[in-house]
Chains A and B, each alone.
Chain A
């Protein structure tokens, strides 16, 4: 577990190009979303004295209340919150789909490539695995649903007790523990499907139920190492992110320089979060490979590019052909402690 942890963090730290790309994608996705907010603030403050008192750590209360009233025009706070929630839900859904592409690229890079990062191959991998990962996401939904169902049942049980109580007592702590359990439950499902994705890429699997079952088996057999590894890296990433977010929040943004400084801290925090994701994925790949039964080092299967038309430029340019040339060659071991040893002939799960 610790070997995988150190491998993951080391690999993530070395993958600067990949990290920079992920950050750029994240930024490019978020920027258009923030433009309406930027415009709203600009519109409501331009040529108004409120702009002068809108700096530093406090919003101008006059501006803030007027803004809220304008946003709530002819509507209620609940309607406004619902509308905002729906918008966020749609945005989150789109971003999730976008990240399916990115995950394909990351795993393809980590499992199939040498350490040299190529943007074209990144997107080619993303396209290659997108549809399979999308199916995995759909398969994951019932598992996430089960976690939420359990959370909901426990919440109702707690609420039933609370509704009869005359003192709040320890209920907030119980609820906090329940939220903690929810996070751990979601992490568990997430981990299972992480390994399903790794399994898919590693073995070029096309049957996603089979990948899910294989991952479940793998996680069950290695639970006491795989789960702590997940919690360790996710926890580390969150702690670093939280610290930097706090640092960012501590900057008194009363000048353009301070705004820039806070923005920089914020972006470092976001990069740290991406780094943690990359480290986790890398560590999981390493851990997965290390726990595979010893197999003869052999030829890696070439990834199947499903969106041939979409990647036709890649194909036409011969990049894919070169990539396939690479794939039929023995892969360089990712780590000396766990050499790649997958023989196409031994694979039973390739469709």
Chain B
């Protein structure tokens, strides 16, 4: 008799899936057939020191082989074992420190699978073995493998019952407890992703189940989650999780149980803290997204306005009491995020969003993203710097970049962190404007630095002060060091995408991002998939850009080194004919490429009568950039159709790519014999990969006043400091 019970049929899987909440709106999305669905019954207990660290759970995993391959083994992540001892790969790489937060000695965490069996089938517990796909670290226990008694054929489903016990570490790297608080993330045995040949450019089919590294995050298949959480009564009403809460039930043993469900997500995290202020608000789409917001986006994206769909979202804010006065700022940040991300990247397909404010000394839990669930982080005394907003916007953007467009965070971290950085910069700039930098000695916002920083600025600082050690496209655990990871995965990618927007034009870039976000929603795209979207939407092959700025390490830095105006020779103030009447009479300016990378920059030449000559890159052909000169009279600065000079064909210029510098000539026929007063490349400062933007201009400017202004201020403060020191004498 065939052992049907070993492998559950698609029918049984469908029955389980149907059991999930019908209220979950993601069901309406054209989501893929779920691959990895979990039903978990977890119990968190206080330990002998009254800390929420002891976790036990039963997990039922329904996993479908969605590939054309026959699979003989399953692989699981046991992320919590990264905190088991000093021998884990995570600990060795991080040296017990992540994002500036240090490990507290002795506060280990771990996870152990106590039983694993196929439902109504074989007990596989004894088959479990730790594997190390990334390194030779035999002590690492973050990935486990189990051989199946019978190969799993394409489209077959297996249902596994697991029991596991875990201990939460003190939180310093995304998961753990502190005081009464716990962020329970990466907490359950989670199956890896089976990738078929060709998927994400994979040469051979196989498991993608990396060990937990210091700088890697997560990668998983979509599925439906049905999780029941039983916690001590002190946490009644003080708990939040991925998805929507279905039930709350007080138990006879003094505990309380909550059931959360969410379809079409690839992870589940939850939190509790007896101190939480639990605040709920609704994002009312009709109030926040008006027709006047939709119309321009509709025109830009070239899709009908009717196709924009938005729904209300219930937002739960779990706030620390000492941050109560910042509740409105948190909610507004969430509302702005929901508004713009939906306008730009399509509908948010879930009905809930939970925002967590971790307590003091739990900063390791801040700034993380899980489906429908993000952790924020703010200052004790919020000031004019956009502190809680930036974190919330960034983490919410992850709902799209990795939450929905589920790239591999371990192998291509830039596809989520960098895209999120791009979105954060754009959204913060759109919704809030420039930021301020506030000095906070002893937590008091004492002094606002006198500079209004665009949101690109924090990412530019410390990114361009040294050569790049790695290309952006590098697996997260293979970057030269933590700094290189942060620079490339976050800052450089964000700036690279803004540079791409400068090259393609904002409207085209919006179409690129929208197409990528909607086409790859609920899927696992790779860099090549993004390249394809860019090429398709722009209608051009942009591989020169990708090779240099995603797969290369070259610095982009052009400099205007000067200009020279033609002056006719004079005798006693009277112009005389040049000795050589054929000698050129044009004005010139010189541009030098200081970095290894090249970019077809736009130049803007301002003439003495305030008319402008624009020099626009038209195409890259035969290893050279071809430019077209365009004249804009001073009385028509906003002329939509630029006026080309009298001899359009004559007003062209080519710059061979191999040449480091080029001298551009402004013929008198175009400049009307007006002299140059300034030259600027990338006048709008949109090419954010330009390592040095100040040298992108040249003018007859002597900066005495501005120098006196800032040097004088600095001198005042220096004198004040010295006088303070002098009081010791």
Contacts and interface: CB of A to CB of B under 8 A. Distances in A.
Interface stretch (B187-195, B264-272, B701-709): B701-709
A146 interface: no
A61 B466 contact: no
Interface stretch (B15-23, B305-313, B419-427, B452-460): B452-460
Contact of B452 (A61, A100, A133): A61
Given A38-B711, A48-B695, A92 B721 contact: yes
B164 interface: no
Interface string B178-205: 1111000000000000000000000000
Nearest to B459: A65
A163 interface: yes
Interface string B406-428: 00000000000000000000000
A169 B320 CA distance: 11
A167 B725 contact: no
Contact of B706 (A33, A41, A162): A41
Nearest to B716: A266
A192 to B, nearest CB: 12
A63 B678 CA distance: 17
Contacts of B322: 167-169
B272 to A, nearest CB: 13
A259 B722 contact: no
Interface string A57-72: 1111111111111101
A273 interface: yes
B712 A99 contact: no
Interface string A268-292: 0110011001000000000000000
B698 A48 contact: yes
A283 to B, nearest CB: 15
B282 interface: no
A326 interface: no
A52 B700 CA distance: 11
Interface in A25-76: 26-27, 29-31, 33-34, 37-38, 41-42, 44-52, 54-55, 57-70, 72-76
Contact of A245 (B381, B714, B720, B726): B720
B477 to A, nearest CB: 22
A61 B181 contact: no
B720 A88 contact: no
A72 B715 contact: no
A50 B726 CA distance: 37
Nearest to B702: A46
B296 to A, nearest CB: 27
A79 B317 CA distance: 39
A162 B180 CA distance: 16
A96 B726 contact: yes
Interface string A79-100: 0000000001001100110011
Contacts of B695: 48
Interface stretch (B442-450, B505-513, B649-657, B659-667): B442-450
B473 interface: no
B718 interface: yes
A263 interface: yes
Contacts of B442: 172, 175-176, 179
B723 A270 contact: yes
B179 A166 contact: yes
A15 interface: no
B715 A34 contact: yes
A30 B712 contact: no
B465 interface: yes
B706 A49 contact: no
B424 to A, nearest CB: 17
Contacts, number: 228
B150 interface: no
B380 A41 contact: no
A190 B727 contact: yes
Interface residues of B, number: 72
Contacts of B678: 49
Contact of A273 (B444, B699, B723): B723
B380 A172 contact: yes
A30 B718 contact: yes
A255 interface: yes
Nearest to B440: A172
A95 B707 contact: no
Contact of A42 (B179, B362, B694, B707): B707
Contacts of B321: 167
B452 A74 contact: no
B178 A63 contact: no
A175 B443 contact: yes
B728 interface: yes
A31 to B, nearest CB: 8
A19 B706 CA distance: 30
Interface bin, chain A: 35 or more
A99 B697 contact: no
Contacts of A266: 712-713, 716
A290 B81 CA distance: 75
B465 A49 contact: no
A350 interface: no
A64 B451 contact: yes
Given A54-B709, A55-B705, A48 B697 contact: yes
Nearest to A172: B443
Contacts of B460: 65, 69
B710 A48 contact: no
Nearest to B691: A69
A74 B720 CA distance: 31
B359 interface: yes
A221 interface: no
Contact of B464 (A54, A69, A88, A263): A69
Interface string A138-176: 001000100000000000000000111111110110011
A37 B465 contact: no
A30 B685 contact: no
Contacts of A63: 694
B728 A37 contact: no
Contacts of B320: 167
A50 B705 CA distance: 12
Contacts of B114: none
B22 to A, nearest CB: 39
Contacts of A270: 716, 719-720, 723
Contacts of B692: 66, 69-70
Contacts of A7: none
Contact of A163 (B361, B451, B464): B361
B711 A34 contact: yes
B275 interface: yes
B190 to A, nearest CB: 29
A31 B715 CA distance: 8
B602 to A, nearest CB: 15
A166 B180 contact: yes
Contact of A51 (B450, B461, B701, B719): B701
B571 interface: no
B430 interface: no
B118 to A, nearest CB: 43
Given A58-B451, A67-B694, A262-B713, 19 more contacts: A33-B715, A34-B714, A37-B715, A45-B701, A47-B700, A48-B698, A51-B703, A55-B706, A61-B452, A68-B465, A69-B460, A74-B465, A102-B729, A137-B728, A166-B360, A166-B361, A169-B322, A169-B360, A277-B726
- Nearest 4 CB-CB pairings of A with B: A51-B703, A166-B179, A99-B729, A54-B706
Interface of A: 26-27, 29-31, 33-34, 37-38, 41-42, 44-52, 54-55, 57-70, 72-77, 88, 91-92, 95-96, 99-100, 102-103, 133, 137, 140, 144, 162-169, 171-172, 175-176, 179, 190, 241, 245, 248, 253, 255-256, 259, 262-263, 266-267, 269-270, 273-274, 277
10 contacts: A31-B715, A45-B701, A51-B706, A58-B452, A92-B725, A103-B729, A166-B359, A168-B322, A262-B709, A263-B712
Interface of B: 178-181, 275, 320-322, 359-362, 380-381, 434, 442-444, 449-454, 457, 460-466, 562, 678, 680, 685, 691-695, 697-716, 718-723, 725-729
